[in-house]
Amino acid sequence: MGKLIYAANTSLDGYLEDADGSFDWSVPDEEVHAFWNEHERGIGTSLYGRRMYETMRVWETDDWLATEPAVVREYAGIWRDADKVVYSTTLDAVSTARTRIERTFDPEAVRRLKEESGSDLSVGGATLGAEAFRHGLVDECVLLLCPVTVGGGKPALPLGIRLDLELLDSRQFGNGVLYVRHAVRGAG
């Protein structure tokens, strides 16, 4: 059985994006990118909302990767090797391999996917992540806290829901980013 892991880069004040929709302040350096590579190696299936999928699908092509560091090129291969499920009512087709569209988020289908999976799953994006938290599907929460406050924007964690968490691991990177991994013990 796989765990469902919500993972994100976030500002210290808890936002994925600032009020203008920018997340350029969270672009990882090589050390942090290497961490994400190792984390993503254990993911067999990624669950995305449409916007997160549209952001992530850049990893499907090699055109822009030729001049990137090895750690960045490595991530592209890891991303391509994972299955992807995109939840969207507006997306007509996907442009990446190993990807399928689901029109509705069905919590029972995600539970079955977890039960049948031999590897962990990830959920990406604030809106889809909030749905997964609300339905008690998220087993772990991995956050990289960037040393910046942005004062508002898209919250990394769902509003209006209490999450009881247990710290499993933490680490500080050379650039000041803090990694925290929590087990989700309950939501209410």
Domain ranges in the chain are 4-184
> What average pLDDT does the chain have?
94
Q: What is the largest CA-CA distance in the chain?
A: 47
Q: Which CATH number fits domain 4-184: 3.40.50.2000, 3.40.309.10, 3.30.830.10, 3.40.430.10?
A: 3.40.430.10
For residue 64, what pLDDT is reported?
81
- Eight-state DSSP code of residue 132: H
Instruction: Report yes or no: 166 and 126 within 8 Å, Cβ to Cβ.
Output: no
**What distance in Å separates the CA atoms of residue 87 and residue 101, rounded to the nearest whole number?**
6
**What distance in Å separates the CA atoms of residue 141 and residue 132, rounded to the nearest whole number?**
11
For residue 66, what pLDDT is reported?
83
Among candidate residues 50, 115, 49, 46, the one with its CA nearest the CA of residue 78: 46
Q: What does the DSSP assignment read for 82-108?
A: SEEEEE-SS-----STTEEEESS--HH
For residue 132, what pLDDT is reported?
96
| Residue 90: partners with Cβ closer than 8 Å, 6 or more residues away | 50
For residue 187, what pLDDT is reported?
65
Region 29-57: mean pLDDT is 94
Band the pLDDT of 65: cuts 50, 70, 90. confident
For residue 125, what pLDDT is reported?
87
**What distance in Å separates the CA atoms of residue 177 and residue 12, rounded to the nearest whole number?**
9
User: What percent of the chain has a predicted confidence (pLDDT) above 70?
Assistant: 99
Predicted confidence (pLDDT) at residue 46 exceeds the cutoff of 80: yes
H or E element in which residue 70 lies: helix 70-81
96-148: pLDDT as tens digits: 999 999 999 999 999 999 999 999 999 988 899 999 999 999 999 999 999 99
Predicted confidence (pLDDT) at residue 179 exceeds the cutoff of 90: yes
Region 73-82: mean pLDDT is 93
